[in-house]
Structure 1
Amino acid sequence: MEDFKHDDITSVGHLMLRQQRQTLKYLRLIEMEVPLLAAFRKPVHPVPLSQSPISIRTLSYGGEPHPATNKAVIVAPVSYLPLKSPSAIHKFKLLAGPRWTTDVPRDAGFSGRVKDGEGVAHGFIKISHEAFPLASMNAKWCSDTLEKLIEEANKDSDAFAEMPISHRHIEARVMRQRRGDHRITPGPRSWKKTTIKDIPRRWL
């Protein structure tokens, strides 16, 4: 190589020029190529919840390794599951335990699809798993677990008709949210909504 005669920019200057050339390249693509994509534009119509009731959600960090990329989550409304009778629905809620909730999970992917209380009469079930190395394997485990719960709920459902459904996990979540349905600290400024649980048993 020839000796440097101070007639060129430094390596840092070349890197800056390289970044500017890359920026200009993408600006040209935006100016010339992106308008051509308008011909392929299609209107988006959300699929009704009754036609696609099961939501499968996985995480991705753009190819970067992360422990959360293995996780898979399945959410489904209980009303659209193949349960044979109201007693089977009751038993399904008992078997689901804390995985069953009355409200639509915020991360379920059902935003804009639940209209006029559609499918929310019996709540939702949410199953997640992350023990296997691939998200597809965890999704398969969640799917198999949901099928086993449905199969077990349809067996001899009347035997569990008198067992009450526990709402303790729902009440605990409301307590953690601190939105007025709980008591923060005893005092005149703290309050909670009065329910039947606040009345002494001897008064009933």
Structure 2
Amino acid sequence: MLSQKVVGSLRVSVARAPFMAGVRHKSDNAGEASYSEQPLYLNPHAWQGLPADRIFELHELRKTALGKKYVPNDDERRAILSTVTELGAKTKPELEYVYALDHFKERHMNNTPVNLRGLPPQKTGIQVIKQGETPHQQRKIDILNTVSAYEMPLLAKFRQEYKPVSNKEAPITLRFSDDFSEESSSFNRKVTLSCNLADLELNEQQQRKFKILSGQRFNHETNEIKIASDAYPEATQNARWLAETFEKLLTHAKDLTDDLADVPIDTRHTQAQASYRKKAQKHEFPEAWKRPQDAPASKFQIVQKLVEKVKDQKDKEYMKSFTP
């Protein structure tokens, strides 16, 4: 049976080395008792009952001593978890650091920000410092990197060959926009529906009625209809409204009970758009107007002269190594 022996106070200096207090082991040979002294920080099973700051001190010493060979065991886990009551008390101990429980599936910190309290515990080996959100942000990045390294490659088993769909099978195109700002902004919730009339497989009378019903939404140059909506707070709601509206438009266009033969097709909006684009074209500056000789000459070129001088000097020094 192992006996526990803790020497020294919790606040003594390193020179007195309280963490070197040993644990006495008995020999397995009957009738003989050989004792060996081992540092306390290497025996986590003897940490039970110590104060929280003492346990954390021994834990850090064990990690430092073992280095890359450090592996937490059940004795160390139970000793650290035994400090939960003390850390959760109203009068919390003044620790110089806060330790995020590593591989223990729990986290107890005395510096958790108010906006992060009550969140599920994070499993990580990153030590948490007292101030700022940097460790919490770093923890999120570390978790994402872990998911990218170990979980995302497993998605390869769901891989499927991409087979593009022809315009005849899916004539409608829905375009969504996202600028990574608020989802409720008009830009993010806006959806645009476009469709080419040739992909709808309508006869001439149905195409004519479709153009009339589309009105200014139809472009007679590209033979394409375009409808946009941002009336609803969600982009999916706008997409659904566009699909339902287009379906109603197509249904009325196919119904030739009233083919609107007496209604002319209005193309003035397309002509106006073409005229506006033509006026908005950039005009080239006439070559005859370009007179570089009349440009004001720069009075001082000190920087340029210094740069050229340094370049010449460097080139000469470099060439000396090749010149006999």
TM range (shorter): 0.5 to 0.7
Report which structure shows greater RCO (CA 8 Å, sep ≥6). 1
Equivalent residue in structure 1 for 2:224, among 108, 124, 148: 124
- Matched with 2:267 is 165
| Unaligned segments of structure 2, at least 5 residues | 1-91, 99-128, 288-324
- Matched with 2:207 is 89
- Matched with 2:134 is 16
Residue type matched to 1:8 in 2?
A: Y
Query: Does structure 1 residue 44 correspond to structure 2 residue 165?
Result: no
- Give identity over the alignment, percent: 26
Instruction: Give how far 1:71 is off.
Output: 3.0
Which aligned pairs between 1:61-100 and structure 2 lie closer than 5 A? Answer: 64-81=183-200, 83=202, 85-100=203-218
Closer, same or farther in 2 for the Cα pair 1:173/1:12, shift >3 Å? farther
- Matched with 2:120 is none
**Structure 1 Cα separation of the partners of residues 137 and 231 of structure 2:** 42
Instruction: Give how far 1:50 is off.
Output: 0.4
Q: TM-score, normalised by structure 2?
A: 0.40
Instruction: Give how far 1:144 is off.
Output: 4.3
**Structure 2 Cα separation of the partners of residues 148 and 126 of structure 1:** 15
Closer, same or farther in 2 for the Cα pair 1:88/1:19, shift >3 Å? closer
Query: Does structure 1 residue 178 correspond to structure 2 residue 269?
Result: no
C-alpha contact (below 8 Å) 1:94/1:165 kept by paired residues: no
**Rg larger for:** 2
Q: TM-score, normalised by structure 1?
A: 0.58
**Structure 2 Cα separation of the partners of residues 68 and 171 of structure 1:** 26
Instruction: Give how far 1:69 is off.
Output: 4.2
Residue type matched to 1:2 in 2?
A: P
- Matched with 2:297 is none
Structural RMSD (CA): 3.6
| Unaligned segments of structure 1, at least 5 residues | 104-122, 190-204
Instruction: Give how far 1:30 is off.
Output: 2.2
Closer, same or farther in 2 for the Cα pair 1:47/1:138, shift >3 Å? same
**Structure 2 Cα separation of the partners of residues 72 and 147 of structure 1:** 16
**Structure 2 Cα separation of the partners of residues 58 and 24 of structure 1:** 31
Instruction: Give how far 1:177 is off.
Output: 5.8
C-alpha contact (below 8 Å) 1:56/1:72 kept by paired residues: yes
Query: After TM superposition, what 4+ stretches of structure 1 lie above 6 angstroms from structure 2?
Result: none
Instruction: Give how far 1:47 is off.
Output: 0.9
